[in-house]
Amino acid sequence: MQRRLFMSVAAVAVATGTIGMSQANAKDIVIGAVAPKTGPLAAGAAITHWPNIKLWVETVNARGGLKLKSGMAKIKLIEYDDRTNPGETIKAVQRLATQDKANFVLAPYSTGLNLAAAPIFARYGYPQITSTSITDKVGPLTKRYSGIFFTLGTTTGFAGAVADILKKLRDDGKIGKRIAMVNVADAFGIELANAARPIFKKAGFEIVYDKSYPLGTQDLSPVIKGAKAANPDAFVAWSYPPDTFGLTAQAKIQGLNVKAFYTAVATAFPVFGAKFGKAAEGILGAGGINPDTPEMKAYIAAHKKVTGKAPDYWASAVMYASLQVLEQAIEAVGSTDRKAVTDYIKNNTFDTVIGKMDLRTQNNDKFWTVGQWQNGVFYGVASTGRDGAKPIQLKPDW
């Protein structure tokens, strides 16, 4: 299985043409994909979501397609831009189901868009394997929707991991107890901030600044100015890509110097490290990876070969892993029977680029929670069961 996994991921990087198959080709499998190509979350989807779909489709089709009982079936991909609008996400999934007759639809991008689309996925019986959704509502949601799966982690898991890191630094005498916390006013940021407040308090921290800002806010200088005026020992932002960059840039400009500086989504993007260079060193953020496994090395090489750029150091690999789960389930069932595929996912484990994934409870409980920029790479420094974490370092002044 490990050899099959490695070769599957690496196939596009070395393939010179379609691999010959003795079986006759079956009818194409129509796969729908809906996510932002415009709007506030387009930049994040352009790094984490769309490139992995391209890599997966090209990898599968380069070897002849998905192996069904009726023969090999190539993927026909249909894409829609939801413009970072939940209503557009719902309409696009509806169109894929009723007009395009998609056999499967890939889960959308972001927590909010996934939660908005969950009822429509359930209505048409599509398995919804989310890869960019973090929530503590996993229990109620999986009870309500039998075909939804969560792979990235929980709100409490992420907030708790940040608190654990800050507590260790404080107990070691490296930082004080004052935290400045900000969040984007979206489902993701609101839920994380709400979870973090009691967790930080229980860990003995004082939140000296607590500010929310609208999704798409262009000028974040007032937010950082307020945070700096509170004289914190640590800065925590439950942020999305545009504000992750904006908050970090303003913190550097205004000299918000703390030994623990955390921003969430997009901190793991290679462009974050490229933009901030040495100033990125020591910055903490959501996620992380262990880049040293054979599977991850093969995945990174294939991603660069097909898309022309490196994947991010967190959700990219989780996104690709979710596609591998779908692929393996379809081939195991041998058909496009959505109920059978969903049931297979709920009763099996899967080998993926991030390691073994177990979705038998509809939730992956082994995930990276915190990463850190160290020597130009965003390494995982905390997880709920993944191997290869690096020791945490203090952030130097800007």
CATH number assigned to the domain comprising residue 98: 3.40.50.2300
Cβ neighbours, 10 Å, residue 310: 17
Residue 393 within a domain: no
Residue 59: inside a domain: yes
21 shares a domain with 143 = yes
20, 364 Cβ separation under 8 angstroms: no
Q: Is residue 245 part of a domain?
A: yes
CB 28 within 8 A of CB 100: no
In this structure, the answer to whether residues 234 and 373 fall within a common structural domain is: yes
Quick one: 149 and 11 in the same domain? Answer: yes
Tokens of 394: 């203090």
Mean pLDDT of 110-134: 97
Residue 8 confidence (pLDDT) above 80:
no
- pLDDT (0 to 100) of residue 119: 98
CB-based burial of residue 383 (10 Å sphere; 0-12 exposed, 13-18 middle, 19+ buried)?
A: buried
Task: Give residue 27's pLDDT.
Answer: 85
Segment 183-241, tens digit of pLDDT: 999 999 999 999 999 999 999 999 999 999 999 999 999 999 999 999 999 999 999 99
Is 4's pLDDT higher than 60?
no
Q: What would the 3-class secondary structure string for 338-375 be?
A: HHHHHHHHCCCEEEECCEEEECCCCECCCCEEEEEEEC
- 283 and 305 share a domain? no
C-alpha distances out from residue 234 to 64, 175, 260, 282, Å:
52, 7, 5, 13
**Exposed, middle or buried: residue 375 (CB in 10 Å: 0-12, 13-18, 19+)?**
exposed
Residue 14: band (very low, low, confident or very high) from pLDDT cuts 50, 70, 90 = very low
Residues 267 and 300 in one domain: no
Q: At residue 127, what are phi and psi to the nearest 5 degrees?
A: -65, 130
| pLDDT at position 75 | 98
At 165-183, the pLDDT tens digits run: 999 999 999 999 999 999 9
Is residue 16 pLDDT above 70, yes or no?
A: no
User: Same domain for 377 and 304?
Assistant: no
Is 141 part of any domain? yes
Short-list 107, 2, 26, 14, CA closest to 58: 14
Instruction: Verify that 275 and 249 share a domain, yes or no.
Output: yes
**Same domain membership, residue 23 and residue 165:** no
- Asked if residue 390 is part of any domain, the answer here is no
**What are 295-336's pLDDT values in tens digits?**
999 999 999 999 999 999 999 999 999 999 999 999 999 999
> Are 52 and 138 in a shared domain?
yes
Q: In this structure, are 280 and 376 located in the same domain?
A: yes
How many H helices and E strands in the chain?
Answer: 14, 16
Q: What is the pairing mode between strands 377-383 and 368-374? A: antiparallel
Does the structure show a pLDDT above 60 at 2? no
Read off the pLDDT of each residue in 123-131 and give the average, rounded to a whole number: 98
Quick check: is 38 in a domain?
yes
Is residue 13 in some structural domain? yes
CA distances from residue 253 to 122, 135, 216, 228 in whole angstroms, order as listed: 47, 33, 20, 12
Question: How far apart, in Å, do the first and last CA atoms of the chain sit?
Answer: 46
State both tokens at 288.
């992380």
For the chain, the average pLDDT equals 94
pLDDT tens digits along 72-116: 999 999 999 999 999 999 999 999 999 999 999 999 999 999 999
Share of the chain above pLDDT 70, in %: 93
How many domains does one find in the chain?
A: 2
With a cut of 60, say whether residue 21 has pLDDT above it.
no
Please state, in angstroms and rounded to a whole number, the distance separating the CA atoms of residues 287 and 161: 10
Note the pLDDT of residue 18. 36
- Contact between residue 354 and residue 289 where contact means Cβ atoms under 8 Å apart: yes
Domain membership of residue 192 as a residue range: 155-290+369-383
- Which uninterrupted H or E stretch holds 162? helix 155-171
What pLDDT band is residue 25 in, cutting at 50, 70 and 90? low
Sequence-ordered strand ranges (E) for 214-354: 234-238, 260-263, 284-286, 349-352
Same domain, 252 and 286: yes
What pLDDT, on a 0 to 100 scale, did the predictor assign at position 82? 98
335-357: per-residue pLDDT in tens?
A: 999 999 999 999 999 999 999 99
CA distances from 206 to 85, 104, 331 (A): 36, 47, 52
Q: Give residue-wise pLDDT tens across range 145-166.
A: 999 999 999 999 999 999 999 9
Average pLDDT over residues 26-45: 94
- Claim to verify: residue 141 and residue 208 sit in the same structural domain: no
Is pLDDT at 12 greater than 80 in this prediction? no
In a domain? residue 177 = yes
Indicate the SS3 state at residue 265: coil
In the three-class reduction of DSSP (H, G, I as helix; E, B as strand; rest coil), residue 25 is classed as strand
Q: Which has the closest alpha carbon to 322: 83, 33, 86? A: 33
